[in-house]
Amino acid sequence: MLSVHDLTVSIGPETAPLDIVAGVSFDIAKGEILGLVGESGCGKSMTSLAVMGLLPQPGPRVRAGRVLLEGSDVTQLQPWQRVEAGHGRMAMIFQEPMTSLNPVRRIGDQIAEAVKVHDGTSGAAALLRARELLELVRMPDPAMQLSAYPHQLSGGQRQRVMIAIALACRPQVLIADEPTTALDVTIQVQILGLLRELCNRLDMAILFITHDMGVIAQLADRVAVMYAGRIVETAPVEALFDRPRHHYTRGLMDCMPSRNSGARRLPTISGQPPAPGTVGAGCVFASRCAGVREPCRVASPPRTGVANGHEVLCAFPLNGGVAS
């Protein structure tokens, strides 16, 4: 459904570009959730914005690579050009629903606005569809909530409204950028359940971006781990948690408090991620890696297939033992 090839997003002058996303590739099938996980600044949000065609301008630009939606190249098209050209449909939801909603408009009107753009319907018909969408996202009391303002809703309900707006275009691909990070856990579990249900029911491809390995384990079918603008490991979710092959993935899992209950000290990954542009020759993770060897500091590591659907960007991958 969605296919991203060698996507490179750069900032800075044409002559000396800094790659903040460097050669990212992945595919997502219908009815599949790909989890993209990484820490702040690793480039995961930039990847999603580039895929959506929503990179802020002026600023970062797609320097190389292609984004294919149902086989058509949409890389250099703005969202409205994609709609006009009749390409596949994509929608996106964000972390903080309050800043994405207009505070002075009723939510029914905000959903209906998206319906009008995509369905060409107007007035009552659009509102009727808005109500259907609210039912689809399991908003309690949808008919009443059409006339509510965003401030009258809870954080979880606002995120449901954002999902309803995203669904107005009947997307084939939904990009969710940390949609539950601002929510409490008891609400988060409901929104994650809703996304899984919608994915199955509407046969969407979902790109789910998060920093939370727990959320990934709960929701994703496949996982791409991102570090310093690169995807360092891709695997089916069970394989990744069972046998992480990249030292960074393993480190991320090991330092989760919930995997270490009762331990005296938490394992850590020493140091900090490199700033964009400071990456020299060799592996981007070399300076923090527990398994670093001499070649890692001079040559870029190869992308190696270690098992079916399991790839790792490492010259000396872990041979897998269960993560403690």
| Three-state secondary structure string covering 278-317 | CCCCCCCCHHHCCCCCHHHHCCCCCEEEEECCEEEECCCC
Six-digit token string for 259 = 């995997």
Contact flag: residue 99 with another protein (CB under 8 A): no
Out of 47, 95, 188, 234, the only residue in the binding site for another protein (CB under 8 A) is 188
Of 2 and 192, nearer to another protein (C-beta) is: 192
By CB under 8 A, the count of residues binding another protein is: 49
Asked if the bond preceding 58 is cis, omega within 30° of 0, the reply is: yes
Out of 100, 121, 190, 300, the only residue in the binding site for another protein (CB under 8 A) is 190
Measured CA distances, 91 to 22, 82, 164, 205, 227 (Å): 24, 12, 11, 11, 25
Residue 156's nearest CA partner among 131, 181, 174 is 181
What lies within 8 Å, CB to CB, of 319 at 6+ separation is 245
Phi-psi region of 180 (alpha: psi -120 to 50; beta: other; left: phi over 0): alpha
Pairing, β 61-69 against β 90-93? unpaired
Pair 251, 273: CB distance under 8 Å: no
Out of 134, 213, 314, 318, the only residue in the binding site for another protein (CB under 8 A) is 213
Out of 107, 130, 161, 269, the only residue in the binding site for another protein (CB under 8 A) is 269
Give the contact letters, 166-185, x = binds to another protein (CB under 8 A), - = no. ------------------xx
Of 12 and 236, nearer to another protein (C-beta) is: 236
Residue 2's nearest CA partner among 248, 164, 175 is 175
Out of 196, 202, 292, 316, the only residue in the binding site for another protein (CB under 8 A) is 196
Out of 11, 83, 125, 187, the only residue in the binding site for another protein (CB under 8 A) is 187
Minimum CB separation from another protein for residue 164, in Å? 17
Of 104 and 185, nearer to another protein (C-beta) is: 185
Pairing, β 18-28 against β 205-210? unpaired
Tell me which stretch binds another protein (CB under 8 A): 109-117, 118-126, 149-157, 296-304: 149-157
Out of 99, 261, 308, 319, the only residue in the binding site for another protein (CB under 8 A) is 261
Pairing, β 222-227 against β 33-37? parallel
Contact flag: residue 106 with another protein (CB under 8 A): no
Contact flag: residue 238 with another protein (CB under 8 A): yes
Give the contact letters, 39-78, x = binds to another protein (CB under 8 A), - = no. xx--------------------------------------
Out of 57, 186, 308, 319, the only residue in the binding site for another protein (CB under 8 A) is 186
**242, 247, 253, 257 alpha-carbon torsion, rounded to 10°:** 140
Minimum CB separation from another protein for residue 249, in Å? 12
Residue 166 neighbours by CB distance under 10 Å: 24
Tell me which stretch binds another protein (CB under 8 A): 49-57, 111-119, 121-129, 255-263: 255-263
Contact flag: residue 157 with another protein (CB under 8 A): yes
CB burial string 44-53: b at 16+ within 10 A, e below: bbbbbbbbbb
Of 40 and 308, nearer to another protein (C-beta) is: 40
Out of 25, 75, 260, 304, the only residue in the binding site for another protein (CB under 8 A) is 260
- What is the chain's length? 324
Footprint of another protein (CB under 8 A): 39-40, 154-157, 184-190, 192-193, 196-197, 211-220, 237-238, 241, 251-253, 255-269, 272
